[in-house]
Amino acid sequence: MQSVETVKRDIRKLKTDDLKKFFIDHGDKAFRAVQVDEWLWKKSAKSFDQMTNLSVATRELLKEHFAINHIHVDNMQRSADGTIKNAVTLHDGLIVESVLIPAETRITACVSSQVGCSLACKFCATARLKRQRNLSADEIYDQVAAIKEQAELFFNRPLTNIVFMGMGEPLLNYSNVTAAIEKITSQKGLGMAMKRITVSTVGIAKMIIKMADDGVKFNLAVSLHAALDKTRSSIMPINDSNPLSELADALKYWYQKTKRKVTYEYVVWKGINDTPEHAQALLKFCKVIPSKVNLIEYNPIDDGEFKQASDDILTMYMDLLERNGITTRIRKSRGKDIDAACGQLANKS
Ligand code: SAH
């Protein structure tokens, strides 16, 4: 049997106008809706009792009719390097993880878009959790709001960047991801800048085309990892139905429409993509549209099938790309000691 609690409507699903109507219908003023909205979004209120500029009677009325399906950060782990990993419990008891990554000039929130993931990339810990459901726009927004609070509380600095590089594939939950971004950037929400937001994808061609058509203003990162079909298919099954030629066409369309660069994320593994032929293929792919490359450090996930290539191999990649005018950075991992680094999010705790 469902409890009374779960059948109450989630107040954050209501538009301001619906809320105004609710107050008028209950003999109160429409203006209350604006106050409530501010509590729900700008101030991220988790309970009606926090809404101290409402009368007790109004708060009771809201409690009687609505729930706030806010996420709960139940477990917060701090890494030696300052990284914070949050285990986030959703209203139905499922758990996702999100990460705060502090650096000298920025504080980045790395957020999840799905519970688990359906894509089965062989090197990623999240792939081992089967996909359970998409996160709602509010659940995505809440992760960012929670990290914003932590940035202020623990570092006395503002949150500056957001990356969709946590659990899940953001482009398979496109409408909720874009709705969350809308709210994150709105003045009624967190007022953050679109250009500080990056959505990272395995590279689903048809969704990249849709994003271009929609004229999205956030940044695009593609987890490439190999620019030869045979190699990419062996580590990322999505490449079978979504090969590099289709990805390249979608990216050309993206650039044509948005005039914006793409960032490729690329891990170099021993015995997998560590030959000069692989590096040449990457260079060729980088010329499809203006791009830059982040060579990401591999974060081992238990069984040791994948091993980071040596520094010499990374230098070989770096030299080739830079010599040909492709901006390339080597990205060291953060939060490895608490399994908070890229590809390590798997609800171990
Ligand atoms: N599904 C999206 C976002 C989640 S993964 C995507 O594929 O982009 C975020 C980034 O971490 C991706 O670039 C992914 O390829 C990378 N990654 C996954 N497992 C990793 C691991 N074990 N070590 C380093 N990076 C990893």
Residues 137-155 have pLDDT tens digits of 999 999 999 999 999 999 9
Contact 62/11 with Cβ under 8 angstroms? yes
State how far the Cα of 170 lies from the Cα of 252, in Å rounded to an integer. 20
| Long-range contacts, 306-310 (Cβ 8 Å, 24+) | 306/122, 306/123, 306/269, 306/272, 307/269, 307/270, 307/271, 308/267, 308/268, 308/269, 308/270, 309/268, 309/269, 309/270, 309/273, 309/274, 310/270
Pocket test for ligand 1, best of 98, 110, 123 (most atoms within 8 A of CB): 123
Q: Whose CA is nearest to atom 6 of ligand 1?
A: 201
Average pLDDT over residues 282-300: 96
Query: 85: how many CB neighbours lie within 10 A of its CB?
Result: 25
191-198 contacts, C-beta under 8 A, 24 or more apart: 192/144, 192/159, 192/162, 194/218, 195/219, 196/160, 196/161, 196/162, 197/161, 197/162, 197/163, 197/164, 198/161, 198/162, 198/163, 198/164, 198/165, 198/263
Distances (CA, A) of 139 to 70, 143, 252, 337: 7, 6, 32, 26
Task: Answer with the residue of higher pLDDT: 348 or 125.
Answer: 125
Read off the pLDDT band of 5 (50, 70, 90).
Answer: very low
Same fold, 9-67 and 72-338: no
What is the CATH code of the structural domain delimited by 9-67? 1.10.150.530
Contact 162, 192 (CB under 8 A): yes
C-beta of residue 292 within 8 angstroms of C-beta of residue 326: yes
Bridge-partner residues for 97, per DSSP?
Answer: 87
* Residue 1: predicted pLDDT: 41
**Res 212: pLDDT:** 98
How far are the Cα atoms of 12, 16, 67, 136, 139 from residue 175, in angstroms, in the given order?
A: 17, 20, 23, 9, 13
Write out pLDDT tens, residues 241-277.
999 999 999 999 999 999 999 999 999 999 999 999 9
Q: Note the pLDDT of residue 75.
A: 84
Q: Which among 74, 83, 125, 73 is positioned nearest to 338, based on CA atoms?
A: 83
Q: State the Cα–Cα distance between residues 29 and 10, nearest whole angstrom.
A: 21
CA nearest neighbour of 114 among 14, 43, 202: 202
Strands 84-89 and 95-102: antiparallel
Residue range 105-130: mean pLDDT, rounded: 93
Rg (CA), the chain: 22
Judged against a pLDDT cut of 90, whether residue 308 lies above it is answered with yes
Query: What is the pLDDT of the chain when averaged over all its residues?
Result: 93
Share of residues in the chain with pLDDT > 90 (%): 85
**Alpha carbon 21 to chain centroid, angstroms:** 34
pLDDT tens sequence across 26-35? 999 999 999 9
> What's the pLDDT tens digit per position in 218-232?
999 999 999 999 999
Residue pLDDT, tens place only, 35-55: 999 999 989 999 999 999 999
> Looking at residues 73-97, what average pLDDT do you find?
92
**Ligand 1: which of 201, 296, 298, 301 to mutate, judged by most atoms within 8 Å of the beta carbon?**
296
With bands split at pLDDT 50, 70 and 90, how would you rate the model's confidence at 344? confident
Q: Which two tokens stand for residue 348?
A: 């171990």
Asked if residue 4 has pLDDT above 80, the reply is no
Q: Where do the domains of the chain lie?
A: 9-67, 72-338
Residue with tokens 């960012």, as numbered in its chain: 144
Which of the four pLDDT bands, split at 50, 70 and 90, describes residue 8?
A: confident
**pLDDT at position 349 over 60:** no
Residues with CB under 6 A from ligand 1: 123-124, 165, 169, 200-202, 223, 265, 267, 296, 298-299, 301, 342-343
pLDDT of 304 reads: 75
pTM of the model: 0.92
pLDDT classification of 348: cutoffs 50, 70, 90: low
Domain spanning 72-338, CATH architecture: Alpha-Beta Barrel (3.20)
Residue 3 pLDDT exceeds 90 = no
- Ligand 1 centre to CA of 165 (Å) is 7
**If you measure from the C-alpha of residue 176 to the centroid of ligand 1, how many angstroms do you get, rounded to a whole number?**
20
Q: Pick the catalytic residue: 97, 139, 169, 265?
A: 97
Q: Answer whether residue 2 shows pLDDT above 50.
A: no
Measured CA distances, 104 to 248, 332, 339 (Å): 35, 14, 22
CA dist 59 and 48 (Å) reads 6
User: Quick check: is 342 catalytic?
Assistant: yes
